Amino acid sequence: MTPGSGASGEGATLDNLLVEERAFAPTEEFAAQANATAALYAEAAADREAFWAKQAERLHWETRWSQVLDWTKAPFARWFVDGRLNVAYNCVDRHVESGHGDQVAIHWEGEPGDTRTITYADLKREVSKAANALAALGLRAGDRVAIYMPMVPEAIVSMLACARLGLTHSVVFGGFSSEALRSRIEDAAARLVITTDGQYRRGKAVALKTAVDEAVRHTPSIEHVLVVRRTGTDVDWSDGRDLWWHDLVDEQSEEHTPEAFDSEHPLFILYTSGTTGKPKGILHTSGGYLTQAAYTHYNVFDLKPDSDVYWCTADIGWVTGHSYIVYGPLANRATQVVYEGTPNTPHEGRHWEIVQKYKVSIYYTAPTLIRTFMKWGTDIPAKYDLSSLRVLGSVGEPINPEAWMWYREHIGANQCPIVDTWWQTETGAIMISPLPGVTATKPGSAMAPLPGIGAKVVDDSGADVGKGGGGYLVLDQPWPSMLRGIWGDEQRYRDTYWSRFGEQGYYFAGDGAKYDADGAIWLLGRVDDVMNVSGHRISTTEVESALVSHPSVAEAAVVGASDPTTGQGIVAFVILRGDAGGGDSVAKDLRDHVAREIGPIAKPRQIMVVPELPKTRSGKIMRRLLRDVAENRSLGDVTTLQDSSVMELISSGLQKGT
């Protein structure tokens, strides 16, 4: 597949992107007070390793490193070799020790309107108690812990308690199915799951522990289930295995002495979709990860720990929540808002009400939500006082220029710099982004690699395409927060990221990109079989496997079709088994089945029942043609089809279901 004709179907808008002439320079006032100036680029260019060593000084190291980077076993990097630190100490205790114990770490806002205010001193007590509880359960450094929770403070406390003990956490998004949880627990052989009785979803309490009960029936590695009471929902209880948080954690001592771990000690595994059906356990370690999370959070968002109120709207189930709710902001002693619920509960102004209430000054969200706000109407944010905002961020997918301009005008009062941040679960932290006090930003462009980061757009042969050219995005230098591998699968790590441009030693990101005439980078969407639905990565194969596991389905092909709100929507083409009935009920059954197998976020927007699927002579499904059908475009070249009449058959014989 060629970049630009990529999964997001952005090809058609390429020409528009290239004539984008608007650019918004930071105001003089903003530039004068910014954390990062243009000098940062020069400093990093002069000596990259010295630059990163200086960034690592943001942290407290129990033992200093002997070497900044060891890349001799590439693609397996070691950063800050022989250095030792405790990640949780860096995110919590040291702020208390420096006299900031009374500073609010988290303004927590529950979906039903209940609130909690947690200072750094409170956080230290809570994390210490939780660490003591996990140690009492016999968990030891290196063990894995699964966390399957909504956005309650205990979720963050659990992550930090793991970090404090050197336990490797694997957070599983609370919207994933019990089957998704089961496979992740099994892959990591986790000993403990932390969960809640239930979670609030659009004003209703729904069960969560039931999914854990179902999952752990098939995962012998799990010894205990630790349960936070959130909704008061009735739960089944397995004596000996299940423990209430309020019984076990609350009785623990508030004192806990953190131990320093090696810079390369595994901090977390986070599963993400790839091009096959099996999610990849992306492994991140400690010193380099925390260094880059803190460095980017400080410079990209221009964080002023004494005055800013920061809010990232992500969920801790995704990497954005790991790096920009937990580790980056807390390492930087930020005061932040954490919100439990959905943006339209109980009304469509909820986010703006929260911005007004806490005087949020930095707001970081996803394009899909910005487009949803646009749909809800400008009169909604206009009702609130948003004058506290000073930096706006975007992440997760390409932001279209219209959404960018709307964000700037209706949320940012034409004042706030917008930082469009490109990165991935695998990169651990932001890689390509404007610096808000330096960069003149263009609506829709992530602009340039951050100081210390090497990124390029290359052609098939790995050659830089140069200004005005398009191709594949690669990272040509190792970076501190890079993934250290795929859990338990070294070969897949090499194959997925390092073989495409093996000769040059480039990391292949899987994204298409383009340089404009000024050399600014425009991301164009995935070039592989990975979809991006509301900023969430979902593999076509994963949804196909879920569909064919249904008794009515003989064969399935899934594509991401462009969607005005979610970026892409999942469209499934299915061939039913001879004895299966057709019609609307089958579409509904299949959509529900996928939600059960993977989670509601993977529910196809549309199911099309077809008599055949278009395949190449080698038997590969031609997704490009299916995407054309799904997006109602005229069909492209079909000469490589095994049987080109198939497309006609499909277009004429479609039974659409939704």
Please tell me whether residue 356 adopts helix, strand or coil conformation.
helix
Q: Who's near 224: CB < 8 A, 6+ residues apart?
A: 137, 191, 192, 193, 241, 242, 243
Which residue, 541 or 552, has its beta carbon nearer to ligand WT7? 541
For residue 101, which phi and psi values (nearest 5 degrees)? -60, -30
Q: Is 397 annotated as a binding residue?
A: yes
Distance in angstroms (rounded) separating the CA atoms of residues 222 and 243: 13
Distance in angstroms (rounded) separating the CA atoms of residues 227 and 36: 43
CA nearest to 191, candidates 218, 155, 220: 220
Alpha helices in 324-364 (DSSP H): 328-331, 350-358
Which residue, 93 or 420, has its beta carbon nearer to ligand WT7? 420
CA nearest to 134, candidates 171, 160, 153: 160
Distance in angstroms (rounded) separating the CA atoms of residues 238 and 241: 6
The helix or strand, by DSSP H or E, that contains position 542, with its residue range, turns out to be helix 540-548
Q: What is the DSSP letter of 337?
A: E
Site for ligand WT7 in 184-223 (CB under 6 A): none
Among 86, 424, 539, 541, contact with ligand WT7 (rule: CB under 6 A): 424
Which residue, 23 or 575, has its beta carbon nearer to ligand WT7? 23
Among 317, 321, 396, 443, contact with ligand WT7 (rule: CB under 6 A): 396
Among 30, 339, 422, 479, contact with ligand WT7 (rule: CB under 6 A): 422
Distance in angstroms (rounded) separating the CA atoms of residues 527 and 508: 11
Residue 255: exposure state from Cβ atoms within 10 A (0-12, 13-18, ≥19): exposed
| Neighbour tally for 341: CB within 10 Å | 20
Find the shortest distance in angstroms from Cβ 264 to ligand WT7: 22
Which residue, 83 or 367, has its beta carbon nearer to ligand WT7? 367
- What counts of helices (H) and strands (E) characterise the chain? 23, 31
Find the shortest distance in angstroms from Cβ 10 to ligand WT7: 10
When asked if residue 446 is in the footprint of ligand WT7 (CB under 6 A), the reply is: yes
CB under 6 A: which stretch of 24-32, 194-202, 240-248, 390-398 binds ligand WT7? 390-398
Compute CA distances 192 → 139, 147, 221, 370, 500, whole Å: 9, 8, 8, 37, 37
Is it true that the peptide bond before 75 is cis, omega within 30 degrees of 0? Answer: yes
CB under 6 A: which stretch of 33-41, 416-424, 487-495, 643-651 binds ligand WT7? 416-424
When asked if residue 397 is in the footprint of ligand WT7 (CB under 6 A), the reply is: yes
When asked if residue 539 is in the footprint of ligand WT7 (CB under 6 A), the reply is: no
Site for ligand WT7 in 148-167 (CB under 6 A): none
CA atoms within 13 A on the CB side of 13: 18
Which residue, 148 or 364, has its beta carbon nearer to ligand WT7? 364
Among 108, 176, 407, 423, contact with ligand WT7 (rule: CB under 6 A): 423
When asked if residue 6 is in the footprint of ligand WT7 (CB under 6 A), the reply is: no
What's the chain's Rg over C-alpha atoms? Answer: 24
Among 421, 552, 562, 566, contact with ligand WT7 (rule: CB under 6 A): 421
Residue carrying structure tokens 């070497």 = 67
Q: Is 548 annotated as a binding residue?
A: yes
Q: Is 502 annotated as a binding residue?
A: no
CB under 6 A: which stretch of 22-30, 168-176, 396-404, 460-468 binds ligand WT7? 396-404
For residue 259, which phi and psi values (nearest 5 degrees)? -105, 145
CB under 6 A: which stretch of 52-60, 137-145, 241-249, 393-401 binds ligand WT7? 393-401
Which residue, 335 or 433, has its beta carbon nearer to ligand WT7? 433
* Token representation of residue 12: 């058609």
Site for ligand WT7 in 479-538 (CB under 6 A): 509-511, 523, 526, 532, 535, 537
Binding-residue pattern over the window 302 to 341 for ligand WT7, x denoting contact by CB under 6 A: ----------------xxx---------------------
Site for ligand WT7 in 343-362 (CB under 6 A): none
When asked if residue 398 is in the footprint of ligand WT7 (CB under 6 A), the reply is: yes
Which residue, 537 or 550, has its beta carbon nearer to ligand WT7? 537
The helix or strand, by DSSP H or E, that contains position 54, with its residue range, turns out to be helix 48-56
Which residue, 69 or 447, has its beta carbon nearer to ligand WT7? 447
Phi-psi region of 454 (alpha: psi -120 to 50; beta: other; left: phi over 0): beta
Site for ligand WT7 in 245-304 (CB under 6 A): 272
| Residue 411 Cα to chain centre, angstroms | 23
Which residue, 158 or 534, has its beta carbon nearer to ligand WT7? 534
Residue positions in the annotated binding site for CoA?
201-204, 320, 344, 534
Interface residue list for ligand WT7 (CB under 6 A): 272, 318-320, 395-398, 420-425, 446, 509-511, 523, 526, 532, 535, 537
